[in-house]
Structure 1
Amino acid sequence: MWFYRLLCGLSCCLLLACQPEQAAPQWGHDAYIWQRAWRPALLQSVQEGGALFQQWRVLGLEGDARSGSWYRVKVEAAALQHSAHPVWLVVRMNGALGQYNAADTLRTIMDTLAQWQSLGIPLAGLEIDHDCGENSLPGYAHFLQTLRQQLKGKLPLSITMLPAWLDSPQLGHIIAASDQRVLQVHAVQNPRKGLFHSQQAEDWIRRLSRSTDQPFRVALPSYGSMVSFDDWGNLVGIESEARTGVTGAQRQELIVPPAQVAALLQRLRQDPPKGLSGFVWFRLPTREDQRAWQLATLQAVIHNQPLLPRIRVGLTARDSAGLHDLTLINDGNVDAPLPAMLEAPSTCGTGDGIGPYRAQEGVNGLLLQRQQAGLLRPSQRLNIGWLRCSAPPSSLIIHD
């Protein structure tokens, strides 16, 4: 008997050992293009980001419930055509749903779709972005059903979803009224709590996975914002890349560390939630952005690559008398803090700092001391000063 049990145990072990490893999930990655002005830097990002993303979700129409007005974004149709990526028209509806005129809203949306089609934009579908309150979800589901009927099956309808809806008995109706869903897991709570929490986001994703058998995507953040509060702690303004001109008694910079999002993706890869079909990144960055991640950072996070800053000092001879310009360069794929200090070779007797750096005498020679903290973006170059040296300098010692 003992021999039979041993033989069965060995057989089970061999069967388990021969099982193929579970393949990593092949999730698609889309990007929101949320800019209202299509500047040259954005056109460059559309071109450069083509290899990283599969589809564009483009803000094309924005409604204001209070005024009843609609703002149409003047997109560059030629750039979208040239990218050869499927495009979703995103309609942002601000304010309460009940304040919109339903007939006017449906007509405006359908007119905009027709206009985009006439421009030759390769439309893949329509997405509605509306932060609907839980009490208004029945009316929202009816609105989506009516809109879906007007689309007549020619284009799929996508919606953004809020985590607050996960506890609503209307969740199934909202899901049934749409063809695609994008769960937003950033900037959905009190701004003082930050833009993103990795563990909370994972909990929401897994809750939606357990709540439906329909596929869904997840909107992930790659941006930062500054929030302003008045003397009573009320939120008075949010500023990301476009200046709002709103000032408050208190200001707070909110950032989303790339490592936090990368950690979330790694946990999801190890235990993929049922129904998760991909991610939509908010938003496509440009080289002009000051708070958003750069494309190099997004690429590293998406492809599960190490996030590494690489600061080096560039020396450029300006004349034959030993004058050199100093430049900090980040060859890494993530933002790098400016070094606290740089130490010049003993052969460099004079010099000065520019911008955030000032020169001062050290024990072993000239030092460039940082006066103001800052970040150096991937591929960014920053002129920080000059040196005059009696012999060609090899490099400067960087002190973090």
Structure 2
Amino acid sequence: MRRIGFAAFALAGLLAALALARHWTMAGPPLPQAVYVWQRQWDAETTAAVAPSRDLFHQYRVLGLQWGSDGRWVKSRADLATLAASKRAVAVVMRIEGTAPLAIAADAAGQLRALLAEWRIAGIRVSGIEFDHDCATSQLTVYAQWLRTVRASLPEAMPIGITALPTWRTATELDGVLQAVDYSVLQVHAVRRPEEGLFDAELARQWIDEWAVRTGSRPFDVALPAYGVRVEVDDTGKPIRVDGEQDLPRTAQGRELVADPVAVARLLETLQRRPVQALREIVWFRLPRRTDQRAWSLRTLRAVIERKPLAIRLDVALHPVANGAGDVVVTNNGNRDGVMPGVVVINGRCAGGDGVNGYQFTPERFHLRMTPPPVLRAGHRRTIGWIRCDAPATLHIEP
């Protein structure tokens, strides 16, 4: 009996070891991370956002040129000295709005050659060129010809890539597009109607798996969202404007669409547990800036990339100013961006106060209220009002 028990125990241990080995075999190494810097006019905040993110990203993909729907070229004013000082690889991104007429192919190549020369003189290690064009599936053959024409006039050794839409995966014309470039970047966010949301982790994984099957051994990246948008609609519910970076005037019909960090982290986890062979890296849209209320905070993005537990921790405190008055300040001490409190209750012998930054003060109950409350990014704070009290007051958040 002892020998049988020992054998059973040994067999159980062997099976456990095999299961663990199988898990290790299935789990891939951490995927490299890159990020889009999507600013046409760099300001001090954009420049300041580069250095704190260097340890997270091996490459910056920088918007360098844009062909607008108005038929004009727009060259971004990137901070070349900052990009060079980052010591990171930099890919030039050309955004093509509207259609991609073959007539601009030669001009596009000329614009890119001039930009490449300028960036290299500045000391930037240019690692590739990427074309960002939301081509209609029916026009993929034309797009493939455009790409071949442009590529023929670019440095032969320069890697060329494209952003790709999930809808292309069933098109036979996709082969011609992929043969014209070195890699593709599958965008799995903001590709559906606004009412369907900005990102769906399960659907994104399905698209990634199907893209891998469709494209075979060709290398590809996946673009993931680290931002939100506001969609303004008319009286019929039809979208009339999408605000992704600015804080434009809002209407009652507007909707906030945000990529949930928990959902994005869940997709990353599945990609680690069930790796996709041809998947090279993750590219985030976009690099967070300090006051960019549409992008995740760098703290949240870092937590997702480093696979840390995500938590919102809102604290409210009274910061004395003068003459018995104090500012009511809400701080998010967690690592996940979260919605600010709708109501802050003030308890104490207080004589008066007022709300700021959209909060309204109710003197009868000494409440500060805002509906709907905005998002407070992780590591950030916001003053929502002030009060004057005869004795120390206590503050608490109502759900």
**Could you state the TM-score of these two structures normalised by the residue count of structure 1?**
0.87
SS at match of 1:151: coil
Q: 1:12 to 1:324 in 2, by over 3 A?
A: closer
Q: 1:92 aligns to what?
A: 95
Do the aligned partners of 1:351 and 1:385 also contact (CA within 8 Å) in 2?
Answer: no
- Which residue is 1:237 aligned to? 241
Structure 1 stretch 98-107 or stretch 182-191: which is displaced more? Answer: 98-107
Shift of 1:41: 0.9
Question: How do 1:255-270 and structure 2 match up within 5 A?
Answer: 255-270=258-273
Q: Distance in 2 between matches of 1:227 and 1:262?
A: 24
What is the aligned partner in structure 1 of residue 169 from structure 2? 166
Aligned residues: 388
**Retained in 1: the 8 A contact 2:368–2:385?**
no
1:206 alignment partner in structure 2: 209
Spell out, residue by residue over 1:370-394, the C-alpha distance to the aligned partner (whole angstroms, 9 max, x if none): 133322222222223334444445x
Q: Which ranges in structure 1 are unaligned for 5 or more consecutive residues?
A: none
Helix, strand or coil at the partner of 1:378? coil
Q: CA deviation at 1:325?
A: 2.9
- Alignment map for 1:1-400 (pairs within 5 Å): 14=14, 17=17, 20=21, 21-22=23-24, 23-64=27-68, 66-98=69-101, 100-211=103-214, 212-230=216-234, 234-242=238-246, 250-319=253-322, 322-346=324-348, 348-355=349-356, 356-362=359-365, 367-374=366-373, 375-393=375-393, 395-400=394-399
Output the CA distance in 2 between the equivalents of 1:343 and 1:210.
56
In the aligned structure 2, how far is the partner of 1:339 from the partner of 1:69?
45
The answer to whether the 8 Å contact 2:106/2:153 transfers is: no
User: How far is the alpha carbon of 1:10 from its aligned partner?
Assistant: 6.0
Q: Tell me the distance in 2 between the aligned counterparts of 1:7 and 1:330.
A: 55
Contact 1:231 1:249 in 2 (8 A): no
Measure the CA separation in 2 of the matches of 1:333 and 1:304.
Answer: 12
**Judging changes above 3 Å, is the alpha-carbon distance between structure 1 residues 100 and 203 closer, same or farther for their aligned structure 2 residues?**
farther
Matched residue SS, 2:363: strand
- How far has the Cα of 1:152 moved from its partner? 4.0
Structure 1 residues 301 and 149, CA, compared in 2 at 3 Å: closer, same or farther? same
Name the aligned partner's letter for residue 335 of structure 1: D
Q: Is the 8 A contact 2:100 2:146 kept in 1?
A: no
Q: Post-superposition shift, 1:198? A: 1.6
Query: Which one-letter code corresponds to 1:227 in the other structure?
Result: V
Q: Percent identity?
A: 37
Tell me by how many angstroms 1:139 deviates. Answer: 2.5
Normalising by structure 2, report the TM-score: 0.87
1:49 positional shift: 1.4
Question: Is the 2:355–2:368 Cα contact (8 Å) retained in structure 1?
Answer: no
Q: Unpaired segments of 5 or more residues in structure 2?
A: none
Residues 350 and 391 in structure 2, CA contact (< 8 A), matched pair in contact too: no
Q: 2:281 aligns to what SS in structure 1?
A: strand
Cα distance in structure 2, aligned partners of 1:227 and 1:160: 23
Letter in 2 for 1:299: R
Q: Contact 1:229–1:249 at 8 Å: present in 2 too?
A: no
Secondary structure of the corresponding residue to residue 141 of structure 1? helix
- Counterpart residue type for residue 141 of structure 1: A
SS where residue 101 of structure 1 aligns? helix
